[in-house]
């Protein structure tokens, strides 16, 4: 299940570190919701998964938390959860 949006080329450590940084900067609530959706994915038909994905997306995009995060981002700020990963000079 899923789409490939990037293929790792070159040193895998740098690619993995970048991916981990992206995951750590994601909304914890969004990651939890995604994990729940994966848990039942094998037992449902594609049409059901698609309908559920649309429902979850609509719920998230209309939530106050996401609206505030998008507003902050458009103003040049980071969402409240974004700064949980401290930047380090030795990190790629």
Does the global pTM surpass 0.85? Answer: no
Which residue intervals of the chain are DSSP H helices? 12-24, 28-39, 46-61, 64-74
- The tens-digit pLDDT sequence of the chain (92 residues) is 456 677 777 788 888 888 888 887 888 888 887 777 777 666 667 778 788 888 888 888 888 888 888 888 889 888 777 766 555 554 44
- Residue 10 contacts residue 92 (beta carbons within 8 Å): no
pLDDT score of 35: 79
pLDDT score of 38: 73
């Amino acid at each position: 299940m899923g789409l490939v949006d990037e293929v790792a080329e070159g040193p895998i450590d740098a690619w993995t570190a970048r991916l981990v940084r992206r995951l750590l900067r994601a909304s914890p609530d969004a990651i939890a919701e995604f994990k729940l959706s994966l848990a039942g994915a094998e037992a449902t038909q594609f049409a059901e998964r698609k309908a559920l994905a649309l429902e979850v997306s609509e719920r998230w995009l209309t939530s106050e938390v996401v609206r505030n995060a998008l507003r902050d981002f458009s103003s040049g700020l980071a969402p409240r959860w974004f700064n949980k990963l401290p930047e380090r000079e030795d990190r790629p």
